[in-house]
A and B are shown apart, each in its own frame.
Chain A
């Protein structure tokens, strides 16, 4: 992998910051949509070097964080079945359900495995024809093509012991929901570069126009993020609101069309409940009727699982950018990565975990 150092160069970063500083005349609140961007901002300390006028609000783009409790509980119920091999991305294993996390389910004897791709789970199903292999298909549009591919291949290859527990969510309806919220403070968005690499950004001009909000397609490296902020600030200061794509080395307007085609073939848009936020219309994917036989919820009949929410977790406010992680009374006290109350404290893309792990509760200066 090249380009790591180039997009983390301290001198170029200072030049970008200087330009932002020269441009900005008053306070602006900009939301980075994706949790990967939040992580990068906190890890590299981008928020520390920006002028005080710029406030970064951390968005809902953490797939682990927004997966609703009932789906996580369904996952645990399926994973606990004796004949099941439950496959998940690693990030999901420590997310608390109503009762413990997947690591706990595993320690009680469930066969829970970390995979890097849904195709690994599909291969496992072929190797273990007498077991039921279930893949936890969560994520935004970024992971949807691979998940669609796994289901399509299972279908064409007749791998009947494979199924998926789907909890896919979509970015544009989330942006819409945030803009429609009465408590909204977001004045510009940094759109999630990885999602746009799949979906393009053809859905954004209408959103930007209707809500008069700048949307800048932004990558994940420090210089990408600073450049995204620079574009947003220039628009805000000029009173403009349009869609820009400084992340053009990766993202094209129309996106990856064969990936979109694959998604459309396997999934259809549905309403989704987002953990901490609630139901957002047309904000998710479910399997099309043609593929329902690969739907783990019906195969294992877990749709009636009851959940119990007693936690004081305020991740919904964090995910909508109305509360900073360290402003939550549970942050760092009753809620830590070791004893998380919500998924935002667990996932590497969760804002609370980023704040906790990189020490954003403590004001420190070093001269290393």
Chain B
């Protein structure tokens, strides 16, 4: 136990899950179980406090009489440019969405750039223009930033970190731990578009119609939801790890079961075909402009029609409900009338062989 790695595992950290991996593997960044292990067994014990313990998409902190939502995210997507968007859209919309999932009205962003020596100025200019346009569209300002350059070969051209601050309206209490048995579960539109758009470009796959990223800022849609249902229990934007990971996190945080219906989950047919072709489950594929809302059952129809009236929620659907029957588990009813457990992904989803 004298190796340099073992020094990490002393104190309050539970050693078992991390000791299986003396080195970081890609799965630690996948948003699945390995990522959760890192948070639970390394970051949380080291940084523990009431805000962080909530493990929300953003932290909600009280400052005077205001409640502020605060969030940060780093963007390391490859390729940098993909159908319908680029890394700049993600960097702005992603952090806005993390704030919006606390019910916050986003106000200010920071932007830090880590650039690789040799990266084309024109590409950087395009990304920055995109960020500017995305911020303007969303009504937020980028008020601070930083630039670092690393040696050629030490970065993928351009990494971006954004942090954001927003104000949470009085009376809004949204957290992953607040799902109640009986609640309805809604998703704001078709799932898996972003992940498959990235994959189609990265792997040079062509489908009948190009798959576009769904990247969008969701705070407007959140406002529409909160207008009709200020008592909304949970909001989540299912990015890495897809809706399966988000719903598993909610099930664990709330100690409840999630019951889904496969046939109710909206998936664009081209995306579904692409997933089938590669052996991927759309439930685990990333989204960048969708949200999951968990609301009291008697408000489900109101929230659904509010979503339908918003341009980003036109394909919203009720996909299941919260139950006390199988705590901590996400279970989906298949089209054959049988059931399956939707577990949390371990690491990255891997394309199958044949």
Q: At the interface, yes or no: A235 with Cβ under 8 Å from chain B?
A: no
- Shortest A236–chain B CB gap in Å is 23
A103-B331 CB under 8 A given contacts A114-B350, A368-B321: no
Cβ of A199 under 8 Å from chain B:
no
- The listed residue (B279, B331, B353) touching A368 by CB distance below 8 A is B331
Interface stretch (choices B24-32, B42-50, B119-127, B222-230): B24-32
Q: Is A250 an interface residue (CB 8 A)?
A: no
B337 nearest CB neighbor, chain A only:
A10
Minimum Cβ distance to chain A for residue B26 (Å): 6
For the complex, what is the distance from the CA of A106 to the CA of B350, rounded to whole Å?
15
Is B335 in contact with A44, judged by CB distance below 8 angstroms? yes
> Does B172 reach chain A (CB closer than 8 Å)?
no
Question: Are A89 and B336 CB-contacts (below 8 A) given A348-B279, A359-B329?
Answer: no
CB distance from A33 to the nearest CB of B (A): 13
Whole-angstrom distance from the CB of A5 to the nearest CB of chain B?
Answer: 8
Residues of A within 8 A of B260 (CB): 368
**Tally of contact residues, A, Cβ under 8 A:** 54
> B20 contacts A338, CB within 8 Å?
yes
Q: Which of B303-354 contact A (CB under 8 A)?
A: 320-321, 323, 325-326, 329, 331-341, 343, 346-347, 350-354
Q: Would you call B26 and A44 a contact (CB within 8 A)? A: no
Stretch among B7-15, B107-115, B138-146, B269-277 lining the A interface: B269-277
**Number of A-B pairs, beta carbon distance below 8 Å:** 143
Known contacts A103-B347, A194-B354; decide if A1 and B336 are in contact (CB<8 Å).
Answer: no
Q: How far is the CA of A142 from the CA of B352 in the complex (A)?
A: 13
A148 close to B (CB within 8 Å): no
Question: Smallest distance from the beta carbon of B201 to chain A beta carbons, Å?
Answer: 13
Residues A338 and B25 in contact, CB atoms below 8 Å apart = no
| A10-B335, A359-B331, A359-B341 given; A143·B323 CB < 8 A | no
For A142, list chain B residues within 8 Å (CB).
Answer: 354
The reply to whether A348 and B352 form a contact with Cβ atoms under 8 Å apart is yes
Can you spell out 27 A-B residue pairs with CB atoms less than 8 angstroms apart? A1-B272, A4-B269, A4-B272, A4-B273, A10-B336, A36-B354, A44-B338, A45-B336, A45-B338, A91-B351, A91-B352, A94-B346, A94-B350, A104-B25, A107-B25, A116-B278, A142-B354, A339-B20, A347-B352, A357-B341, A358-B343, A359-B331, A359-B340, A364-B329, A364-B341, A366-B331, A368-B331
A-B pairs, top 10 by smallest CB distance, nearest first, are A45-B338, A359-B341, A90-B350, A1-B273, A368-B259, A48-B338, A358-B340, A142-B354, A90-B351, A107-B23
Q: Hey, which bits of chain B sit against chain A, CB under 8 A? A: 17, 20-21, 23-27, 33-34, 203, 205, 259-261, 269, 272-273, 276-279, 320-321, 323, 325-326, 329, 331-341, 343, 346-347, 350-354
Q: Contacts A222-B335, A366-B259 given; 19 further ones with Cβ under 8 A?
A: A1-B277, A13-B337, A44-B338, A46-B336, A46-B338, A48-B339, A64-B353, A104-B21, A107-B25, A116-B351, A142-B354, A143-B353, A143-B354, A347-B352, A358-B341, A365-B325, A366-B323, A366-B333, A368-B331
